Amino acid sequence: MVNKVEGGILAAKGYSVASKRIGIKPKGENRDLTLIKCDVPATVVGTFTRNVVKAAPVKWDMKVVAGGKASAVVINTGIANAATGDEGLENCRREAEAVAKSLGVERSHVLTMSTGVIGPQLPIEKIEQGIYDLSKCLVAVPYTNTAVLRPYFDGNKANAYMEASEAAKAIMTTDTIPKEIAVEFEMSGKTCHIGAMCKGSGMIHPNMGTMLGFAMSDVNIEKELAQRILRALVERTFNMVSVDGDTSTNDTFVWLANGLAENDELSADTLGIKLTDIDETGTEDIRDLAKKLTERTSRLLDGTPEKTAAQDFAELVEALYTVMEYLAKAMASDGEGATRLFIAKVVGAPDYETAKILAKSIITSNLTKAAIYGRDANCGRIFCAMGYSGAKFDPDKTDITMMSSEGSIKLIEQGKLPEFSEEEALKILSPDEITALCDIHSGDCEATAWGCDLTHEYVTINADYRS
């Protein structure tokens, strides 16, 4: 069973964090530099932007992930270190070198991430000093049931969790709320955790993973299997989010697994599957594979390695999905200038791909997003967005129902506009979470996408982003 717990990125064993303001952006008082350390080199996997224009830290981190191990992450806000050429890459190297010297880790095990304005170079000397300062004040939750022992810090668990929350705030740019979550679950009799945080409010139309995101876990897992799991879940969560249709130059999501929970290593071999059995495109839901493996081993004796592995796989997939879905929805609801989370759920599709295309077309329609902002029951805009999506469906069989905490109202029935109460529609479209349920009556597949409304404030924010 997967349970949400406190702790953010410090919920899992073996991680420490600190953040501070070094003044990368001259205005404001927010912290803008964050350092995360892992007690032991962790297995690392990740997904990155498919934008051809890749920021320097994306290029650096792709090499770190290819190497398979990470011991630390340094994140700055204010400047994206994108469109910065060779100097940008050299600054990533200098950041990693500063972390390596300050923490006693391998430079090739240091992830560097940046978010902010595209174009300017990083104030690298200021960042190097900031890294050194942060290395002296890392905060963590002590643990004593592993081979790695940490001196108790002057405080308690609550202080550490507070610092984790401060880190979630420190990575924000135009975000209005920090986005963090932690879950607890069991693998082979051991208690495991995943703690995660992300930032993302604008330039959100991920075609890889997310904006900047971090999942810190203490599970023991084979790298190749972890990478397949991550990609499969990214397609069902982060890649179903859009705020403004822009894919960032810096999009990165990394998952670290340090093994300190001491569960039996989970691998394709222990599961009795091939890595290719996991569909990285998300067309086949990895949670369905987990169910099949659990059912296949259900008659085996408890404690049998293959049965234990199947149970562990199901728990891990559910835990990571819980984390990633939560963060995806949090980003959508916190879109720049947004006042409402807008969810498009397409059901009755002949296959997942059809449902996915339709759902994403709905949430990316500016006319639809504007109607959601105005609480306008103009369902023709949703119907129109479905029609130009490229997906095949029969409009004359389609029903569209708008739903919220105030109830539901059908605005398209078998392809036609039925009579409805404008007053009732206004009430249903007023809460801060609105769902468009679109049934195309052609099968039993479904997909859900998350977006937000389009407001005047979005234009205001992005008209003077650099100022």
Task: Convert the pLDDT of each residue in 365-388 to its tens digit.
Answer: 999 998 998 888 889 999 999 999
Q: What pLDDT is attached to residue 443? A: 97
The arithmetic mean of pLDDT across residues 99-104, rounded, is: 98
CATH classification at residue 433:
3.10.20.340
CB contact set of 302 (below 8 Å; sequence gap of 6+) = none
How do residues 16-70 score in pLDDT, each as one tens digit?
999 999 999 777 788 999 999 999 999 999 999 888 889 999 999 999 999 999 9
pLDDT for 155: 47
Strands 179-187 and 3-4 come out as antiparallel
Summarised one tens digit per residue, pLDDT across range 410-450 is 999 999 999 999 999 999 999 999 999 999 999 999 999 99
State the amino acid at position 185 in one-letter form.
Answer: F
Alpha-carbon distance of 34 to 198, in angstroms, equals 13
pLDDT recorded at residue 117: 86
Reported residue count of the chain is: 467
Quick one: angle between helices 286-296 and 305-333, nearest 10?
Answer: 160
> Of 333, 353, 375, which residue is a domain's last?
333
345 and 196 co-located in one domain? no
The answer on 349 and 274 residing in a single domain is no
Q: DSSP code of 389?
A: S
At 234 the pLDDT is 93
The catalytic residue positions are 210
Residues 394 and 431 placed together within one structural domain of the fold = yes
Nearest CA to 22 out of 13, 31, 14 is that of: 31
**CA 334, 340, 346, 351: dihedral to nearest 10 degrees?**
-10
Q: How many Å apart are CA 281 and CA 255, to the nearest integer? A: 18
CB 144 within 8 A of CB 172: no
Surface-to-core class of residue 288, CB atoms within 10 Å of its CB (0-12 exposed, 13-18 middle, 19+ buried): exposed
Are 397 and 433 contained in the same domain?
yes
The CA distance from 404 to 431, in Å, is 7
Cβ contact 201:221 at 8 Å: no
| Type and span of the H or E element at 38 | strand 33-48
Contacts of 87 (CB under 8 A, 6+ apart): 121
Q: Give yes or no: residues 239 and 276 share one domain.
A: yes
Convert 106-116 to b/e letters by CB count within 10 Å (16 or more is b).
bbebbbbbbbb
**pLDDT tens readout for residues 312-322:** 999 999 999 99
Cβ atoms < 10 Å from Cβ of 412: 22
CA distance 93 to 398: 54
Dihedral class, residue 460 (left if φ above 0, else alpha if ψ from -120 to 50, else beta): alpha
Pairs from 403-409 (Cβ < 8 Å, separation ≥ 24):
403/428, 403/434, 403/435, 403/436, 403/437, 404/428, 404/429, 404/430, 404/431, 404/433, 404/434, 404/435, 405/431, 405/433, 406/430, 406/431, 408/437, 409/377
Q: Is the pLDDT of residue 247 over 70?
A: no
Q: Which of 333, 357, 389 is the last residue of a domain?
A: 333
Cβ atoms of 305 and 266 within 8 Å: the answer is no
**Which domain-ending residue is among 305, 333, 361?**
333
For residue 25, give both structure tokens: 């952006």
392 and 420 co-located in one domain: yes
Number of domains composing the chain: 2
Cα–Cα distance between 202 and 180 in angstroms, integer? 18
45 and 128 fall within a common domain: yes
Ramachandran angles phi, psi of 42, nearest 5°: -100, 150
What are the structure tokens assigned to 10, written together? 């410090």
303 and 402: one domain? no
Q: What range defines the domain where residue 445 resides?
A: 341-463
Same domain? For 358 and 269 the reply is no
| pLDDT band at 233; cut points 50, 70, 90 | very high
CATH number at residue 278: 3.60.70.12
- Is there a single domain that holds both residue 318 and residue 349? no
Q: What is the mean pLDDT of residues 278-285?
A: 94
Q: What is the mean pLDDT of the chain?
A: 90
Q: Indicate left, alpha or beta for 465 from its phi (over 0: left) and psi (-120 to 50: alpha).
A: alpha
For residue 114, which phi and psi values (nearest 5 degrees)?
-140, 150
Residues 397 and 329 in one domain: no
| pLDDT at residue 335 is higher than 80 | no
User: Do both 208 and 65 map to the same domain?
Assistant: yes
pLDDT at residue 198 is higher than 60: yes
3-state secondary structure 297-342: CCCCCCCCHHHHHHHHHHHHHHHHHHHHHHHHHHHHHCCCCCCCEE
Residue 214 near residue 196 (C-beta atoms within 8 A): yes
Cα angle 260-1-293, degrees, rounded to a multiple of 5: 90
